[in-house]
């Protein structure tokens, strides 16, 4: 199994209403956080909840599929994720 598939496997464990950071996933897999970003950008499986991955400050991905961070935010809000000052409220929603 390649690194990308391992990233997808971890991402699929993030429940609705929670998020993880690129760094958390990288730490679990012992890889560079950039590889996590590359994997998520390359994902083509709509069942992999890539929208639940944010940066260490709760910022959204500007290059998220379709309508960029607007779409990522729409998906997160639909799952009950709240925001503070334009960022995911990590105190409430960070998994781990």
Active-site positions read 50
How far is C-alpha 56 from the chain's CA centre? 10
Q: State the Rg of the chain over Cα.
A: 12
Nearest alpha-carbon partner for 90 in 54, 49, 51: 54
**Is residue 68 helix, strand or coil?**
helix
Query: Rounded distance, CA 30 to CA 38, Å?
Result: 15
Polymer length in residues for the chain: 96
């Amino acid at each position: 199994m390649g690194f990308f598939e391992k990233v997808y496997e971890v991402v699929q464990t993030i429940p609705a209403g929670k998020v993880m950071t690129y760094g958390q996933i990288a730490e679990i897999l012992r890889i560079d956080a950039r590889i996590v970003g590359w994997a998520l950008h390359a994902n083509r499986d709509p069942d992999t909840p890539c929208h639940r991955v944010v940066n260490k400050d709760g910022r959204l991905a500007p290059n998220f599929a379709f309508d960029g961070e607007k779409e990522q935010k729409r998906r997160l809000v639909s799952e009950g994720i709240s925001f503070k000052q334009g960022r995911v409220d990590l105190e409430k929603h960070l998994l781990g």
